Structure formats: structure tokens, C-alpha cells
Amino acid sequence: MIPVQGVENLTIAVLGLGRSGKATAAALAAGGANVVAWDDGADTREAAQAEGMTIIDLNRDEAWHGVAGLITSPGIPHLYPHPHPVIARAYMLGVPVDNDIGLFFRSYATSDFGEFDRIPKVIAVTGSNGKSTTTALIYHILRECGRPSQMGGNIGTGVLSLEPAQDGEVVVLELSSYQTDLARALTPDVAVFTNLSPDHLDRHGGTGGYFAAKRRLFAEGGPDRAVIGVDEPEGLYLAGQLATAPSDDRVIRVSAGQKLDHAAWSVFARKGFLAEYRKGRQIASIDLRDIDGLPGAHNHQNACAAYAACRAVGLAPRDIEAAFHSFRGLPHRSQLVAEIGGVRYVNDSKATNIDAAAKALQAFRHVRWIAGGLGKEGGIAAVAPYLEHVKKAYLIGHSARDFALEIGQTPYEISGTMDEAVAHASVEAEPGDTVLLAPAAASFDQYPNFEKRGEHFTALVRDLQTGSARRDSGK
């Protein structure tokens, strides 16, 4: 646990008592704060109270007497589509509102840093797609190269549940727009922006608000080095704002298709090869084509971003390359589940929007595409240019029939459920095909989250694999 600094003898309120809320309350108490808390769920409040927490109804003005700050969980709206009533009350009373990310950045550095041979560093990763894979890949590379490291934030461990810093450590954080939008302190040593595509627009009041939330990671305090994906206008704009001159190598530009040989420092992938350029000269190259854990152009962008971040903390190109080969990827993100009879089964359940699904579709040939769920605003018509490799679509969930109307001449069936989609795709698939789950939709019509959807797909494929093995053995 990282005790929160600057709260000794202060009364701090916590809104939301899920995993991050409880961890925040514990870290505040460890820092000497008097913690009071509230959650909208009666069962959650009762459970927290049974654990010894002080529960106060923060919907009442008298509950705010002496409260010096409110810490809210990231999932609770603080502005759009409208602030939670407790947060709105804090605004009216002039009480500062923060989240656990802001507390982490003001508490991670301690007086112990003066005794370390190497000052610990923080790498923070944000963006629309690929940030989890990029975060996990950076963490994997650091560990493979012998650097002490921890991973947390929106992936793995909550930030305040991480261990206190040790000599030479690198903490790698995945940060969502919900987390960066409100944090009052954002001071990573290296900040990474992967890309931007429309998502969570209701929460941020539109695309501009969504990008502004991401941009805060680079504008609040400013990192020593910024790794910026420049394949979208927003990334180009951000890189341009951060660089003070063409020769400014504090900005490392990253691309998954453009040759970037004129920037002061750049890392890009073209035709399966990663290249690093500094001041117009190539200084490293890596063949990404045979790295099983990083299939497709979208993962090549993740590889470039992770490579750049690791170079920014002093790792050597060949050490990074060696670590690439031992990376096995993350569950639900272009995860190769099995190969059965020459047919690959890939779980990309995390592809919940058009951009992510399009990138997954471009990564494979001869695709049998399982798609659908709870469709997002705008439908999936924009995915049409990426369907040339789709032999057939197997549509599931609430939006299956709507999706069928938007995929043009692509052969399809309304499978309805994951069980039917996997069963039919496996029967029709031929050697060389890839059965790809890339839903382009949310999961909430049939599953509590994308993880459960991916786990169901994986379990069905494992059953196919077991049946195939039995048939091969003659049992």
C-alpha cells in the first residue's frame, strides 16, 4: 500500500466503495486521514460498515462539516452527462474533488528517494485502443530486462495498492479517460498516447471532451518524455503542442504505417518491421512478423509504443527485442486460444468498438467473424472497408439483425448466441481460416463484461479442442 501524503488529521470523504474505493480509504487512513465514506448501494454500505468504515450520508449538507476533500471512484460521473449528486454538492460547497490517480501521483515520491542509487520512475499509458496490451508489454519487457517494476491502474492492481517504491523501480500504469479526466496531479516520467477513436462520448460530452481527458496526462505537470501515436489528427496535434522545435527529442512519435524519418526521435512499423530513427538516422530495426504475441498492425503500433517507452527509460534495443519474443499477449486481446485442424481461434472480446474490430479484422486472412452484442451509437457501417477478408460473419446478441443490414455483401448468419456462432463457424471453417471473436459492440446484453464474453468463447473453443483430441486418439 502507498500511504497518501498531505492528509494527516484531515477529514477526507470517499464516494464509491468498490475495490478502488476501499483501497483508497485504506491508503488515506494509512496517511493519517479521518476517512468517512458513502456508496449508493445499501448492501455495499452495510458491508463497509461491518469492516469498520465510518459511513456518512454525503447527500446531506451537515455531513460535510469539516470535510477537506472528496475522493471519488473513476466510474462515477463528475461532469457529463451530469455530476453525481454528491460530487455536485462538493462543487457547491467548494470541497476539492480528486480520485485515486491524483492521490498516487502526489504520494508515490517520498523522502526515501534521496537514498536510492536510481530514482524510481512512472510510465503512464492512455489512449482508446491498445493501452492494456502496451502497458502489459512494457511491464513484461522491464521484468525480462531485470528492472524492478510494478503494473497497475486500469489493469491489474489499483494504484494505491501498489507497494512503496524501491531503488530503480519503474511503475507502469494504464490510465483510462475516466481516471485522467479528474486527477488533480498527473506527473509521470514517461507518458504514452496510443491512439484515439470515439468512445465513452456520453461521459465526456463528445469527442472533444474525450480527447481533452486524455490530453490532461500530458498537460498537467508534463512528462519528461512523451510517446505519441501520430496516426490520427489528435496525436499529431498533441505531438505538435508538446514539442518546442523540430529537434525536440522529448517527444517520441510513433506510427503503425508511416515512415517517420524526419522527427528528432521516432519509432514506426512498416511491412512488419519496427524501426527507430533519431535525428534522421536509423539506429535499430526489429522484425515483428513472427512474434506470436503481437499479431497485426494494431499490435505493431503497441509494440512501437512499448519499445519507445522502454528506450526512454534506458533499455537497449536488443534486450527489448528479446523480450518481445517471450510476450504471450493478454486475454481477450487478439489472444490465440487454440489451433484445431489447421483453424485458428482468436479471442478479441475487448474489441468493443469499430476501430478495435477493424484492426483485428486486418490482422488475419480468411476470417470467420463472430460479431455483435449491444451495438454502440452509429452502428458498424464504418467497418465495411475492412471486411474483404471475412468469409462469413456469425452475428450474436441484441444488435445482430442491425449489424446484418450494415455489412453489405458479406455472407452472414444470425447465430444469436455464442454457442451457436462457435458451433457453426467450427463446422464451416477450413484449414487456414481464423475464427475471430471481435464483437464491435458492448457485452452487456448477454454478459456482465467483455471478459466474461471472452471466457465463454474460450471455454467453447477448449471443448472443441478436447473433442478433436479424443477423435484423433480414437476414443
- Known binding-site positions for ATP: 127-133
Question: Which helix (H) or strand (E) covers residue 69, if one does?
Answer: strand 67-72
β-pairing, 225-229 with 434-437?
unpaired
Q: For residue 394, what are the β-bridge partners? A: 370, 413
Binding residues: 127-133
- What's the DSSP call for residue 66? T
**What are the CA-CA distances from residue 301 to residues 5, 198, 305, 365 (Å)?**
37, 18, 6, 19
Q: What is the Cα–Cα distance from 123 to 171, expressed in whole angstroms? A: 6
β-pairing, 281-287 with 273-278?
antiparallel
CA angle 115, 160, 453 (to 5 degrees): 135
CB 408 within 8 A of CB 398: no
> What is the per-residue burial (b if ≥16 Cβ within 10 Å, else e) of 177-188?
bbbbbbbeebbb
Q: For residue 343, what are the β-bridge partners? A: 340
Q: What is the Cα–Cα distance from 324 to 286, expressed in whole angstroms? A: 10
- Residue found under cell 510513433: 254
Q: For residue 67, what are the β-bridge partners? A: 11
